[in-house]
Structure 1
């Protein structure tokens, strides 16, 4: 019984670490379009730490669930099935959060770019509506 418990924990931790590394490497590239390299790395690190804490906590809770199939191997497989489903859910939530962060940043960049283009347009066309001073015409009758 003790062996199956340790086996479950080791396999669960390995799965969580592998998935966390996949999220880190893929997510960093995903965020680079919206952020510079340093910001993307910082944001993905925070997201991956949160992912690991949540999923390892779920793994610890699942390890305490008593499954009595009469076969230690089947017990481990059943618990791993639960962990894999929770891992998939956590992965999906993490990717949704990263997508939302990225989309917000891209929208902000687009808004900033549009505001800058509008400012430039206004500067170029500011004189169009303003009255211009009339050119001075010298009269042939004026005294020198």
Structure 2
């Protein structure tokens, strides 16, 4: 009966330890934070391109609608291509970092739970042997 209780306590402890790692905290990985910083830098560059484009449009003497439309279209196409390419790369890198971190975390938690269960089992074994001798 004592062994059954010890086994139940060991299983409960194992599930408790595993549940602790199932909900990662809000902290970010340094690489993920760096990627978010790069994304904000790209947003700043886009704003700079828009500002320069607006300055060019304002500096035109007589408004030529076709020239303005062509300038706006070419500048926006360049900026859009840059942003979409960079955004896709950033998204892929973020996904790689997140999946890699989760895998390492779950492996570490599993090893910790296994070692913890082993210590509990060893303690129960030693405890039962010492009680059997007395």
Structure having the higher helix fraction is: 2
Whichever of the two has the greater Rg, that structure is 1
TM-score, length-scaled by structure 2: 0.47
Larger relative contact order, structure 1 or 2 (CA cutoff 8 Å, min sep 6): 2
